[in-house]
């Protein structure tokens, strides 16, 4: 690289999961399948919420935004890994690595913020049902999406610029399947104290803050549900946030699992394997959670499926949705 960039090389090497050539087709097939399911599953959620006017509500506006972010999140890392396996190359350019770090932090932060926004939406719907449409107006919904995008962009830009100031010497092998920020900082041969402090503060403020917001929202939701006298009313109120709660638990449990596994084993390979859970598996499962546990989404899917069956009878015959 240029001397002004404080580096003496132009590329990193992503070691991935295994160097065994016999395992590469299996890894490729597994991740390609999960990537397709994640992309098409989230794309279906977006198309259904757009096409069905019954889903033009704040809740599904946030759901479609989360699906879009999940598509982008998986597309930040998986395509490059698949390309490296196919070309039998572990190389990623220095610029490509910085770009991957930027978008990975950006979309991971957006996921976290959007889950908090969706928790607030459920809080208003359950705790203030009579004022829901007034509070969750179009302007507020726009702000609740715009602010997370802005904050995530600023945070990822800060982290990426700080990586640019690091000096990397000879050891440029990243024991991961993508350019993970912490792994890059550990490879630096210059002082990383400031990077470590910023990462720590970012984890506390931008990860702990949204999590605290979710906990607060659900504490109020639980308190409101307990005041409902009928069992049927309690079940109906809880069912409106069951899908979101499932996604929150999946996201934070997998993230916590990655942290604990890396802290306990100090193995980069274990950390890379565990990170698959929240980088690929979570975005892949989110559409299933919202489609299987949500009556509105299932009803809309059947309606769309029914329209396709009516419009194309000569090709599909008597098409019926399950």
List, for residues 184-239, the tens digit of each pLDDT value: 888 888 888 999 999 888 888 888 899 999 999 999 999 999 988 888 888 888 88
Domains of the chain with CATH codes: 11-305 (1.20.1070.10)
Rounded Cα distance between 297 and 51, Å, is: 12
Token pair of 124 as six digits: 């208003």
The per-residue pLDDT for 261 is 63
Average pLDDT over residues 254-269: 65
Among residues 237, 209, 236, which one has the least CA distance to residue 223?
A: 237
Instruction: Report the greatest alpha carbon distance in the chain.
Output: 71
The per-residue pLDDT for 316 is 35
Average pLDDT over residues 99-104: 95
Distance between the two ends of the chain, CA-based, in angstroms?
A: 57
Average pLDDT over residues 230-250: 85
Q: What's the whole-model pTM score? A: 0.87
Among residues 246, 231, 278, which one has the least CA distance to residue 122?
A: 246
Rounded Cα distance between 253 and 265, Å, is: 18
Residues 6+ apart with CB under 8 A from 178: 14, 76, 77, 80, 81, 100, 104, 279
The three-state secondary structure class of 11 is strand
The per-residue pLDDT for 312 is 47
């Amino acid at each position: 690289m240029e001397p002004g960039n404080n580096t003496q090389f132009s590329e990193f090497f992503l070691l991935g999961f295994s160097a065994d050539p016999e395992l590469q087709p299996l890894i490729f097939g597994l991740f390609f399948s999960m990537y397709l399911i994640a992309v098409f599953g989230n794309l279906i959620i977006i198309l259904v919420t757009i096409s069905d006017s019954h889903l033009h509500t704040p809740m599904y506006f946030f759901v479609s935004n989360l699906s879009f972010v999940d598509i982008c999140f998986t597309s930040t890392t998986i395509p490059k890994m698949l390309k490296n396996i196919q070309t039998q190359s572990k190389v990623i350019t220095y610029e490509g690595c910085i770009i991957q770090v930027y978008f990975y932090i950006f979309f991971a932060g957006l996921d976290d913020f959007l889950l908090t926004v969706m928790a607030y939406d459920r809080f208003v719907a359950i705790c203030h049902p009579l004022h829901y449409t007034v509070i969750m107006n179009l302007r507020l919904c726009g702000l609740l999406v715009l602010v997370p995008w802005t904050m995530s962009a600023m945070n990822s830009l800060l982290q990426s610029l700080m990586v640019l100031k690091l000096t990397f010497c000879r050891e440029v092998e990243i024991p991961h399947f993508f350019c993970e920020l912490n792994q890059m900082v550990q490879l630096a041969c210059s002082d990383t104290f400031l990077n470590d402090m910023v990462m720590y503060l970012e984890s506390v403020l931008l990860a702990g803050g949204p999590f605290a917001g979710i906990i607060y929202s659900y504490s109020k939701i639980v308190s409101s549900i307990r005041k409902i006298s009928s069992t049927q009313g309690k079940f109906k109120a809880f069912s409106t946030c069951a899908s979101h709660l499932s996604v929150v638990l999946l996201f934070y449990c997998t993230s916590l699992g990655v942290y604990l596994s890396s802290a306990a084993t100090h193995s980069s390979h274990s950390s890379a394997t565990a990170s698959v859970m929240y980088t690929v598996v979570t975005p892949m499962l989110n559409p299933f959670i919202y489609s299987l546990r949500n009556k509105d989404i299932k009803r809309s899917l059947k309606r769309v499926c029914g329209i396709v069956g009516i419009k194309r009878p000569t090709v599909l015959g008597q098409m019926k949705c399950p």
